[in-house]
A and B are shown apart, each in its own frame.
Chain A
Amino acid sequence: MTWFASHPLGVLLVPLVVAAMLGAFGRWLRPAAPWIALLGPAAALVTGAGALMAGESRVVVGSVPWIAVGDRVLAVGYRVDSLSALMLVVLGVVASCVVVFSVGYMRGERGWSRYFALISLFCASMAGLVIASGLVELFIGWELVGVCSFLLIGFWYDKPAAADAARKAFLTTRVGDAGLLLAMALIWTKTGSMSIDGLGRAAATLPPAVVTAAALLLFLGAAGKSAQFPLHIWLPDAMEGPTPVSALIHAATMVAAGVYLVARTWPLFAASPVAQGVVLVVGVFTALAAATAALAQTDIKRVLAYSTISQLGFMFAALGAGNWRAAIFHLVTHAAFKALLFLAAGSVIHGAGTQDLRQMGGLVRRMPATAVAWMAGGLALAGVPPLAGFFSKDAVIAAVMHRSPLAAWTLILASLLTAMYVARSTQLAFFGDSRDVYAAHESPLSMTLPLGVLAGLACALGFTATALLGALGATGGESISAAIVVPAVLAAFTGLATGWFVWAREPGAENAFPSWLERAWGAARNGYGFDAAVVRATVQPLMTLATLTYAFTDRIVIDGTAEGVSKGAGGIAEWLRELQNGDVHWYGAMTAAGVVVLLTVVVWLTRGA
């Protein structure tokens, strides 16, 4: 394992080769495709675990000069420290579970080999992003995971909704990427380097305004990838992709890349209180608003999508409060329990044939294993002790409490809502009477086995807090104080109880709400109409501008002028035609005269030089 840890490029090359193989020879490798596709996650897992065991002090770095630009050299390389190693482990574990789960879930799909090739390509890109030692390599991985996300959301490409969602996801995150590009340009101009190691020195020496600008541009990129307000609109739609993909890309790994980016470039944020403030406000607001939206969803996957946006908001809140280790801790536990919830939801969709919570009910009797897994994930998400989410969420809230009690209390409110939507969706899907799912059946072992693994992690990961934070270099275990735990746990149980009992009596309980609440409920269900407003505010004006520039500016103004000039010249041409009498000598004389005139003009124009 130490060998793997000191040769980290395997995490990149193994899945890349696998992707190429499955892409080229997929037709012949059909039955073996998923098992070959496990090699990539395995490489990530072994390398990451090896590096973690080697201890915090050991950082494996390699770098080569990539290009010379004038007197500056742009180097690229890899860097495996405890942070990237941890991310590799997360990627390895979740991706392995997802690949195995897909064996059952994707059985019989057209494009089976393409699916596993894309998953492998995603693993390679994500690993590249994680082990990057400079911003350029990071950006390459960053964009490639975006493309994999595009191709996997649009996996069922003949479905218009899937193609729409894929494009929306790519374009919305690209808004953030423009920020990332500019951040790189800024850092390159000011320091002459793109190395992440160099950011510490840059933060210490550059003027505060430059550091803040760089940090905010980086955060714009992070907010796009991690679906933070106002760039969150793509994630709920991304649920059009196959559910295991949602678990891997849109819950555990790619969407967490924004959090990773901020943690990775931490020196810049550490030096800029303004940037931290912005991150905190955006994170807290997103955490609360997305939790309310999650409460009102009727599609089980959209509940989880908004929940993911909300939980990523928790992570950004921790970053904004200055504690990136707490953010990463929550990232790790969230990866486990949210991937678990998505896969459990996938199992439900597979077994019950619907994503609509209103049609489910009573599934605990027909799908007991799935139900247990879902509840383990749900309780972990709700922050019930001693499951994983309890520890990491309290670490986040404690961190934020140091910075801003108001923000911390907002997060506790968001936790209450989190517990409420967990209880609501659990109640609607698994308890009460079966409404429209009489044929539901438990999923095969290939699907329940990964659920078991992730459920174990969702229950146990919290106990690794000290080791995990220690590996990230935290000094002295921060004891969790009762002032945080008590309100947080109270909020969790209040939320669970409310959600449970309100929807236990009547699955359509929201229909009996007082009218003001019902209106708010409807708004929350549509994400407060924000998504539609953004689309209205961008797409239509853009199309109008496009038509205007084309039909008016290009065709009428520019071409009209040019053609007008040529028509004017046409009058002269009539006269000129008289001169065209076919006499070669005449032509020669005219040409000579023309050149003489031209030269005279030149000499006259440039006289006095």
Chain B
Amino acid sequence: MSYLLTTIVFLPLAAAVICAMLPKDLAGAAKWVAATVMAFDVTLVGWLLATFDVRGGVQAVVDIPWVPQIAIRYHLGADGISLAMLALSALLGLIAVVASWKMDKSPGTYFVMLMLLQVGMNGVFVALDLVLFYVFWELVLVPMYFLIAMWGGERRSYASLKFFLYTLAGSVFMLVGIIALYLYSGPNNTFDIAELVRASAGGAFNGIQGWLFLAFFLGFAVKVPIWPLHTWLPDAHVEAPTAASVLLAGVLLKMGTYGFIRIALPILPVAAKAWAPWIAALAVISIVYGASVAFAQTDVKKLIAYSSVSHMGFVMLGIASGTAAGLDGAVAVMVSHGLVTGLLFLMVGMVYERTHTRQIAELSGLSSQVPAIGGILAFASFASLGLPGLSGFVGEFLSLLGSWQSTLVPHWMTVVAAVGVMLAAAYMLWMVQRVVLGEASEAVSRISDITAREVAYVLPLIGLTVLVGVYWNSLLRFVDPAVQGIVTILARVV
């Protein structure tokens, strides 16, 4: 059992090694290697989900010394929140591979990058040692940089550099925070998250929580991204190839909010509560600002990118609330945004492959020419705008409930966030009206509808969007018990 998480995390590394060693004339086999390994990876995650005891705390633990001289441990484990994110990461990883099936520009290297990225993404969500967490965190950065810089669109070098510098700048602060936690963690200095939580409860970080929180905040906020640190996101999204966009929006953004939930809140609860009104304010600004800017977009992909800024605002609002409902909502939005935005990017990718444009003005009438593509795009849009019965509603609803319930978040902020829900409907429906409805435009008039392979990789996302939206507990039964632990820690401090 204890090898399970290690296998899940490092299996893609094996795929990366194999892909890297493939001779040039066999590079076409790389996708088969990646797909096989990822299918196996998803199966293992499914096994973990099936055998997981939702009330059993952290499970599948492996905890051995790594660099004993300075107490760095190889410590992996999953609670309900980790598991939800790990499942999202593995599933979207597999889908990204299948969606890249026609990649013909150095496919060998491409799949090496995709698989390396997967190691980092999987690892971040199950690492329970801060150094290990940091290693996985940084590991994500490099392959994503290359995916954008080598397989991206016209402005790829600007976008990839911007992505790299922003995230790197954030990481430096986080590294400082990690080292400082270590230094102040008491006589037995430690990087272990659980021990740091205990040390914190014992008063180890009293008086400096504010500074430490600031360091982690900067690291995580760039990744989420929180306004005004968000401008790398639309550029990166627009230039990235479809699969990278899916993983960027679906998984990478969640690393930031996951960091808040796993590290910042439990280890630095005093500062988290003191900062909560400000984080909530930035969250609400992100919600409304992202939605407002989304209106001005002429490129579908950029519109979705800005909608992500808005949706991630709901995650931060739930986190700031510090309530069970808010944190449940935050994780639910994280999962749902991964599913729905992943689906949106895949659909836009399909349209782009066929029409070679993402300009809203050039796309019109998808549903009269390609009813399946148009229909699924409309479905994803409704899920994204928070239609009850689909996954998007669950998290936004709980996040609003939690923030209203919270004594840390002023009521008027919740009211503004509710207005954001309205704006989401407005820009999404306006997009649907221009792109899906109407008469087929010239670019659209001769394209063909969805293929069997494309159906295969969007179907799981559609299914899960409906499942989570109808049966909330399918997700929340994993999440809520883990959230309660954090709420308890927050409740202990004033």
Give residues in A with beta carbon < 8 Å to B. 66-72, 136, 139-140, 142-144, 147, 150, 154, 157-158, 160, 163-164, 166-167, 170-171, 174-175, 177-178, 181-182, 184-186, 188-189, 542-543, 545-547, 549-551, 553-554, 558-559, 562, 566, 598-599, 601-603, 605-606, 608-609
Decide if B457 is an interface residue (CB 8 Å cutoff).
no
CB distance from A163 to the nearest CB of B (A): 4
Q: Is the CB of A606 within 8 A of B208?
A: yes
CB distance from A23 to the nearest CB of B (A): 10
25 residue pairs bridging A and B, Cβ less than 8 Å apart: A69-B476, A139-B388, A140-B389, A143-B393, A144-B388, A147-B382, A147-B387, A160-B438, A163-B433, A167-B430, A167-B433, A170-B425, A171-B429, A178-B419, A185-B414, A186-B404, A188-B325, A188-B401, A189-B405, A542-B292, A562-B231, A599-B179, A602-B179, A606-B208, A609-B207
Given contacts A140-B393, A164-B433, A185-B403, 17 further A-B contacts (CB under 8 A): A69-B325, A69-B401, A142-B388, A154-B437, A158-B438, A163-B437, A171-B429, A174-B426, A181-B418, A181-B421, A182-B404, A549-B293, A553-B289, A598-B176, A602-B180, A606-B183, A609-B206
Specify which of B296, B368, B419, B421 is in contact with A158 (CB 8 Å cutoff).
Answer: B368
CB distance from B331 to the nearest CB of A (A): 12
Q: Is the CB of B473 within 8 A of A546?
A: no
- A interface, by DSSP: helix, strand, loop or mixed? helix
A144 to B382, CA, bound (A): 11
Residue among A181, A184, A601 with the most chain B CB within 10 A? A181
B416-466 contacts to A (CB < 8 Å): 418-419, 421-422, 425-426, 429-430, 433, 436-439
CB distance from A162 to the nearest CB of B (A): 8
Chain A residues whose C-beta falls within 8 Å of the C-beta of B436 in the assembled complex: 157
Decide if B32 is an interface residue (CB 8 Å cutoff).
no
Decide if B152 is an interface residue (CB 8 Å cutoff).
no
Chain B residues whose C-beta falls within 8 Å of the C-beta of A546 in the assembled complex: 292-296
Q: Is the CB of B293 within 8 A of A171?
A: no
CB distance from A437 to the nearest CB of B (A): 30
Q: Is the CB of B476 within 8 A of A68?
A: yes
Interface residues on B, range: 35 or more
CB distance from A220 to the nearest CB of B (A): 11
Q: Name the segment of B21-29, B96-104, B348-356, B479-487 touching the other chain.
A: B479-487
- Chain B's closest residue to A190 (CB) is B405
A158 to B398, CA, bound (A): 37
Known: A178-B421, A606-B208. Is A157-B405 also a contact (CB below 8 A)? no
Q: Is the CB of B401 within 8 A of A184?
A: yes
Known: A70-B323, A70-B483, A158-B365. Is A181-B179 also a contact (CB below 8 A)? no
Decide if B367 is an interface residue (CB 8 Å cutoff).
yes
Chain A residues whose C-beta falls within 8 Å of the C-beta of B180 in the assembled complex: 602, 606
Decide if B125 is an interface residue (CB 8 Å cutoff).
no
7 tightest CB-CB pairs across the interface, nearest first?
A: A70-B324, A546-B295, A185-B404, A550-B296, A546-B296, A140-B388, A157-B437
CB distance from B126 to the nearest CB of A (A): 24
Decide if B191 is an interface residue (CB 8 Å cutoff).
no
A185 to B398, CA, bound (A): 9
Chain B residues whose C-beta falls within 8 Å of the C-beta of A139 in the assembled complex: 388
Q: Is the CB of A602 within 8 A of B425?
A: no
- Chain B's closest residue to A140 (CB) is B388
Chain A residues whose C-beta falls within 8 Å of the C-beta of B404 in the assembled complex: 182, 185-186, 188-189
- Chain B's closest residue to A156 (CB) is B437
CB distance from B178 to the nearest CB of A (A): 10
Q: Is the CB of B480 within 8 A of A69?
A: yes
Q: Is the CB of A181 within 8 A of B433?
A: no
Specify which of A171, A185, A543, A554 is in contact with B422 (CB 8 Å cutoff).
Answer: A171
Specify which of A171, A547, A558, A608 is in contact with B426 (CB 8 Å cutoff).
Answer: A171
Decide if B397 is an interface residue (CB 8 Å cutoff).
yes
Chain B residues whose C-beta falls within 8 Å of the C-beta of A547 in the assembled complex: 296
Q: Is the CB of A66 within 8 A of B439?
A: no
Q: Is the CB of A550 within 8 A of B183?
A: no
Known: A140-B389, A163-B438. Is A185-B405 also a contact (CB below 8 A)? yes
A608 to B184, CA, bound (A): 11
Q: Is the CB of B418 within 8 A of A178?
A: yes
Q: Is the CB of A69 within 8 A of B418?
A: no
- Chain A's closest residue to B207 (CB) is A609
Known: A175-B422, A178-B421, A606-B211. Is A542-B323 also a contact (CB below 8 A)? no
B203-235 contacts to A (CB < 8 Å): 205-208, 211-212, 228, 231
B121-179 contacts to A (CB < 8 Å): 162, 165-166, 172, 175-176, 179
A167 to B179, CA, bound (A): 53
Q: Is the CB of A66 within 8 A of B473?
A: yes
Q: Is the CB of B296 within 8 A of A67?
A: no
A229 to B321, CA, bound (A): 35
A606 to B162, CA, bound (A): 31
Q: Is the CB of A70 within 8 A of B480?
A: yes
Chain A residues whose C-beta falls within 8 Å of the C-beta of B207 in the assembled complex: 608-609
